[in-house]
Every structure is written in structure tokens, then in C-alpha cells.
Amino acid sequence: MVLPALPAGLRTRIAPTPSGLLHVGNGAAFVLTWKLARAAGGRILLRIDDLDAERARPNYVEDIFRSLEWLGIDWDEGPTGPDDFDANWSQHLRLDRYAELLNKLSNAGLLYACSCTRSTMANCTCRGNGLPLDTPYTLWRLSLVGGGPAPMKKWPSGSELVHAHALTPDPVVRQRNGRPAYQVASLADDLIGAIDLIVRGQDLLPSTACQLYMAKCLGENGFAQASFIHHALMTDISGAKLSKSAGAASLSEMRSSGTDPQVVHQQADRLLAVLLGQA
């Protein structure tokens, strides 16, 4: 398949989460990112999103490196192995950068403390309650009132806009335990890495909208110029999204059984064909 043109010299990232063994859907997405970047002569950063310490496991980190090696995926920046990752690349080493981003959002008056639980969230009035941000056992939400993000380029059509005000409820940016939420860490890491091609599943369209909104509020206008590719999700026989928690067939099992990694490459090609309207 002929890959479409993307800006030369782009910077992208492969960002697995060590919360379970990688499955074929993860692998196909990573291969798609790798193929697009290499076709454009771009650079690839390996970024392992381990901020959720309760779910991260050393064997899952090990599986990431073994899976990428099996798939034939290389990268230009990032850890060379589990030990290098722990010592130099873990997200826990960038907590100060995430706190800096949260402080900027707070200083701009865009955050509020929320004491609601999942069962009470439907009737949440915390946005107007004025709880201090240091109130114990509260999480922080990003207020989306009064504006929206810059237009988002949805490659390859370039026509879709995602508006932050369509997100419900207001996104969480800091958890009750004080840990920065995914939205903050992901945006901060993409800004740090000067990433300008972001390949994600369609289920992360709301995350893209949220991060575009935050970037606009922070004056990080370059982030809106990045290319965002939201590919279709691979599903199981019942039509459900593949997930680690649901026990989707792992790449580890495929390696052990002697499966040819080209099977995963073919799945990546199918994702690309759907994006190009050829499937």
C-alpha cells in the first residue's frame, strides 16, 4: 500500500501503557504510527505512560520492549530497555512538569475542586460551589465554560472540528490522590517532545479535544497545528473493543505460538485503508 504524504521531519510517539500485556490492537496501532513516520522521514519517541502506578507492572514494561522488537518497530528517542526506562524515562520523573501545567491552568481560573463520586456526578454543582482546590478528598476538573479549542485537523479529511464544550462532564485533570490525570500528563509530554503527529484510536477523540482546549488556554498554539490521526478500533468477534482488562489475545501469546508478526502488520494496513477510504 502506498502511504500518503505527511510533512517531512515530523515528530511522533508510540505511547504504550504498562497496565497489561499488549494485544493485537495495540500492536497494529503502533505499526501504523511507525510506518507513517518512517515514510515521512520522521522521528519516533518511545514514551511509556506509567503514571498509573497501581496498574503498572515490571513484566508489562518488559512485554512492551519484547513486543516492539518482535514487530520490527524501532525508535529514535526514548528508553533502550526496562532499566533505562526506570532510571531515565518514567513519567514519575516528570511530575514537576505536570504540576507546572496544572498551576498554569489554576492561575488562569480554569480549575475547580469536585467532591462528587460516580454515583452523584449526574447532579454535580461543584463548578459553582467555589470549593478551595486544597479541599481534602477532592479531584480537580477543567471548566469548559466560555470557549472552545482551536479547530482540530482530522487526517486525512481535514474537515472535522472537535469542540471542548461537547465533552461531558468537565474532564478530570488531577485525581483525589493528588496525581495528575492522563489529560495533563499526555499534553505535557507531547509539548516536551515537540510532537506534531499524534496517532490515536477514535475512542480518544474526546481526549484530543480536551488537550487542544488546554493547550489553547495555555497559549501553546503550536499544538493545534499538529496532525491528529484517529484510526478505527479493532474489535472482538462480538464487536466489543479489544482491551487488556477483558483479556484480549496478547502479543506475548502470539510470539510464543510462533505467529508471524506480519499478521499484525496486515491489521495495521487495514486500519490505514479505512482511514484512506479504501476499505
pLDDT in tens, 191-233: 999 999 999 998 888 888 889 889 988 999 889 888 889 998 8
Question: Average pLDDT of 234-253?
Answer: 66
Phi/psi at 77 (nearest 5 deg)? -140, 150
How far is residue 152 CA from its own chain's centroid? 16
What class does CATH assign to 11-275? alpha beta
Tell me the pTM: 0.88
pLDDT of residue 154: 43
Cell (9 digits) for 215 = 493547550
Q: Which residues contact 140 (CB under 8 A, 6 or more apart)?
A: 102, 111, 112, 113, 114, 133, 172, 173, 174
CB 248 within 8 A of CB 19: no
The per-residue pLDDT of the chain, averaged, comes to: 86
Cell (9 digits) for 113 = 475542586
Cell (9 digits) for 29 = 496501532
pLDDT bucket at 235, cuts 50 / 70 / 90: low
Is the pLDDT at 11 greater than 90? The verdict is yes
Question: Average pLDDT of 100-108?
Answer: 96
Cell (9 digits) for 202 = 477514535
Higher-confidence residue: 218 or 1? 218
The gap between the terminal CA atoms of the chain, to the nearest Å, is 12
